[in-house]
Amino acid sequence: MVGTLLLSREDIRDLISIEEVVEVVEKTFKDMGEGGVINPAKLHLDLGDGSSGLPYKAGMNAMPAYIGWQKVAGIKFIGGWENNPSKGLPYIRGMIILVNPEDGQFLSVMDGGLITAMRTGAQVAVALKYLMVSRERPVIALFGAGTQGRTQLLAISSVFDIKEFRVYDINKDAAMLFLKEMSPMTKAPIKLFDSPQEATDGADAVVSVTHAKNKFIRKEMFKEGVTLCPLGSFSECADDVILSADKIVVDHVEQCLHRGALKELVGAGAITAENIYGTLGEVVAGKKHGRTKNDEKILCVTIGTGAMDVSVASMIYRRAMEKGKGVSFSF
């Protein structure tokens, strides 16, 4: 009986670089665009982050996928607990199960938190490669100096020579900690801002990864030529921000209609699948153009797909097998 490789966050930390995660994510988007990936929409369990009335202020997702170019299947379990940061616990908890599609063998069970953060950064780095107006010395505005904000910085600065990385967080201490911790990890100059409006003046891209539900991204922050990437699970953008986009690109049409930035307008009937220009997979695979005009306002909503998690996890599993990392367990 072949065992299942158990991998902790510590085991996987040094097995893959952010540059490699960006590469795996780009290949997986291309495969998605070419039809090699199967990725049903994520299934959500409302533990109080929606209308269930449960007291936990949380939600959990099941995210299965098959990755053609790696011939692997898997599923990520991921949840977000809003009360956790105030208890000193991580907001997100996740785990990934990898399966051999030939016989169902559980190849590996591994921590999914770090992989989620890395692939979330990588998916935006890939999106900006195809959608951002200026690829030389871009100015990036980031809202949300948390876990995902950190990997946004690492992934985006691994692809671009950043002129200025402007950070705004509603919590000033979080922003200060971000500056202190992240400055030694990147050559991108990080500058903190007191208001989101100021941070967006002259920015080529605006990336938002917050828990905001108050639609704090206003129309004046989404100027001509800007690529706006709202990644938060709730409502970061005012309605007219979304409605003013020249192109809406998403990672997964069905998912993006039901969660994240577009959800409310879809519910109100103001946006349908018809308003979506295409998927990032189609753009990376060359089936649809990315940016075609310098003054286009592009809204890119990547709500996160199991495909990216399973694909990155599969690469990590192979490395771990080669390097003898982790513990084998027989179920």
Residue type, 299: L
80 lies in the site for ligand NAD, by CB under 6 A: yes
- Token pair in block for residue 134: 């200026």
Question: Binding ligand NAD by CB under 6 A: which of 4, 28, 70, 120?
Answer: 120
CB of 159 to ligand NAD, least distance (A): 17
Residue least distant from ligand NAD (Cβ): 146
Contact string (CB under 6 A) for ligand NAD, positions 281-310, x = contact? ---------------------xxx------
Alpha helices in 84-146 (DSSP H): 113-131
What is the 8-class DSSP label of residue 274?
G
Contact string (CB under 6 A) for ligand NAD, positions 151-180, x = contact? ------------------xxx--x------
Question: Binding ligand NAD by CB under 6 A: which of 210, 235, 255, 314?
Answer: 210
Question: Binding ligand NAD by CB under 6 A: which of 56, 69, 77, 91?
Answer: 91
Q: Is the dihedral of CA 318, 319, 324, 329 positive or negative?
A: negative
DSSP 56-67: T-EEEEEEEEEE
Q: Is the dihedral of CA 141, 42, 325, 29 positive or negative?
A: negative
Question: Binding ligand NAD by CB under 6 A: which of 29, 130, 143, 160?
Answer: 143
What is the 8-class DSSP label of residue 148?
H
193 lies in the site for ligand NAD, by CB under 6 A: no
Question: Binding ligand NAD by CB under 6 A: which of 126, 209, 249, 276?
Answer: 209
Q: Is 21 within 8 Å of 312 (Cβ atoms)?
A: yes
**Cβ neighbours of residue 69 closer than 8 Å, sequence gap 6 or more:** 27, 28, 31, 36, 311
Q: Site residues (CB under 6 A) for ligand NAD? A: 80, 85, 91-92, 116, 120, 143-149, 169-171, 174, 209-212, 216, 231-233, 302-304
